[in-house]
Amino acid sequence: FFFAVVSLMPPPPPMSRMVPLSLSLIVGGALIVLGCLLLGTAHATEALWVTMPHIMRGAQVTPTFAKPTMRTSWISPNSKTQGFPAMPDGDPDTGRRQTLMQLVGVMSLVRGEVARAEAKSKPLTPKMEGISDQELSQIVRADVVERQFLVSADITRAIYDETATFTDEIDTYTMDKWVKGTKLLFVAEGSHVDLVGDVEVSPTEVLFRFSEKLMFRIPFTPVVDLTGKVVLKRDPSTGLITSYREFWDQDIVTVLKSAQF
């Protein structure tokens, strides 16, 4: 139908008339599309039902419908869409509206399930379960000294359980939020962390002390100095770190008062 209309159209008018003509074509095209949707012909319905199983197969969603009186004569006996409901009998406008609403509902379910499936399929960092105390000590030491993870958030994620929590003097966070927040809060290039003493490791926890200079990523980039310790709790069955707890030797007010600009 569309190509027939195009073939009957006159030659393009001068440029001065192109804008109103384009607007007319857009409006006309929208009306044609709307008309096709409202017509709900058997072929369009059958094509949609053939497509839906392919969409839903990956998301493993089964559509559920109300139970109106169904008119199966619209779909041929040999159709690949057998097993799917046809257009309902009764008032045509009511049937079309009901079918369109059902399809919108199914597509919303599919979109939600696909999003959840993509989130679940996000690859996780392989975990170093059963790691020895000595090896864990070396990794944590490198995180502190080389990767400066207290200000850069560049942690060795493989030694942490994905459900690990991170607690500082302000609040408790999930691992992803702590990483994101640390990177946004501090200027890693203008900050520095020193390891004080060694990293102590036992089957249940990791402990180390630190001295650091923090440059905040806010106007005037203030810098504060503080000391403290970090306690990392471990799961004895896996050896993975399940919580991070940071303790400051100074209270928050004292630290903020020492800020240099």
Kindly report the average pLDDT of the chain as a whole number: 73
Give me the CATH topology for the region 133-257.
Answer: Nuclear Transport Factor 2; Chain: A, (3.10.450)
Reported as a single tens digit per residue, the pLDDT across 112-154 is: 454 454 445 455 789 999 999 999 999 999 999 999 999 999 9
pLDDT classification of 57: cutoffs 50, 70, 90: very low
Checking if the pLDDT of 35 tops 70, the result is no
Checking if the pLDDT of 56 tops 50, the result is no
Residue 129's pLDDT is 97
Residue 71's pLDDT is 41
Of the two residues 158 and 41, the one the predictor is more confident about is 158
Residue 91's pLDDT is 55
SS (H, E, C) the chain: CHHHHHHCCCCCCCHHHHHHHHHHHHHHHHHHHHHHHHHCCHHHHHHHHHHHHHHHHHHCCCCCCCCCCECHHHCCCCCCCCCCCCCECCCHHHHHHHHHHHHHHHHHHHHHHHHHHHHHCCCCCCCCCCCCHHHHHHHHHHHHHCCCHHHHCCCCHHHEEEEEEEECCCCEEEHHHHHHHHHHHECHHHCEEEEEEEEEECCCEEEEEEEEEEEECCCCCCEEEEEEEEEEEECCCCCCEEEEEEEECCCHHHHHHCCEC
Checking if the pLDDT of 237 tops 90, the result is yes
Reported as a single tens digit per residue, the pLDDT across 192-218 is: 999 999 999 999 999 999 999 999 999
> What is the domain partition of the chain in residue ranges?
1-39, 41-123, 133-257
pLDDT classification of 45: cutoffs 50, 70, 90: very low
Q: What percent of the chain has pLDDT over 90?
A: 51
**Range with the poorest average pLDDT among 5-19, 20-34, 43-57:** 43-57
Mean per-residue pLDDT for 86-97?
50
Residue 86's pLDDT is 46
Checking if the pLDDT of 185 tops 80, the result is yes
**Range with the poorest average pLDDT among 49-58, 97-106, 114-123, 126-135:** 49-58
Of the two residues 31 and 191, the one the predictor is more confident about is 191
